Copies of this chain bind each other. A is one copy, B any other.
Amino acid sequence: MTTDNKATMEPAKETARLEAFSDGVFAIAITLLILELQPPRLGQVSVSALLVGLAHLWPSYFAFLTSFGSILIMWVHHHAIFRLARKADAPLLFANGFLLLMVTIVPFPTAVVAQYLSTPAARAAAFFYAGIFFFLGLSFYVLLRVVLRQCTLSGPTIQRFRRGYRLGPPGYLIATLAAPLSAWVSLGICTLLWIYWGLMAMRLEPCEDDASAPR
């Protein structure tokens, strides 16, 4: 009985350090976003000038909020996917590495949008932002496929995962292609997508498939 227990615990432990490392990267990437926000530089320093200066940073606030929301929801989903993972084999390491690469990149397109959303270059900034998130959506889809090859679970949660993640790459592709027409439509689609996955995450917890699966 003890041996049995050890055998089933081992895989969980194997992915634990990978998950902890990923958590660290998520936590740092989400916190670094704030560094893009710098106090306004004022020509003339007064109470009203500072209030106006802070208000003029709205593209930075928007970029910060939508990137923060995206990374937070991605972290919740990453957690949900890793609960299905059985072993830290090479495909999982590489799929997870690709996803972490994309997550750490997020502060850069965020800074580009923050700096150029209120300028004539807004559409190029949105194009770049949505393009990066296309690869982010792709990396989640790849990670899910790698994990699902490890386990043979099926059920409503897995079906919801599949449907939800299949939406990512085409969704962000549309956002990218919409950018040359309108920066706001493009970034609006990006924002709707993480809100959608946020609502989806609400239904993933408490993950009944996982609990019912024989361990």
Contact = CB atoms under 8 A, between A and B. Distances in A.
Nearest to A183: B47
B26 A124 contact: no
Contact of A45 (B32, B121, B202): B121
A47 B121 contact: yes
A35 B107 contact: yes
A203 to B, nearest CB: 8
Contacts of A151: none
Contact of A24 (B14, B28, B42): B28
Nearest to A19: B17
A33 interface: yes
Interface SS majority for chain A: helix
Interface in A78-109: 79, 87-90, 93-94, 97, 100-101, 104-105, 107-108
A76 B54 CA distance: 31
Contacts of A79: 17
Given A93-B76, A123-B47, A21 B26 contact: yes
B30 A104 contact: yes
Contact of A34 (B20, B32, B54, B125): B32
A184 interface: no
- Copies of this protein in the assembly total 4
Interface string A50-77: 1100100000000001001000100110
A124 B28 contact: no
A128 interface: yes
Interface stretch (A110-118, A137-145, A166-174): A110-118
29 contacts: A17-B19, A17-B79, A20-B23, A21-B23, A23-B24, A24-B24, A24-B28, A25-B30, A28-B31, A28-B32, A31-B32, A31-B104, A32-B32, A32-B34, A32-B35, A34-B105, A39-B116, A45-B116, A45-B120, A47-B123, A47-B124, A50-B116, A50-B125, A51-B124, A54-B124, A65-B101, A87-B206, A90-B202, A94-B202
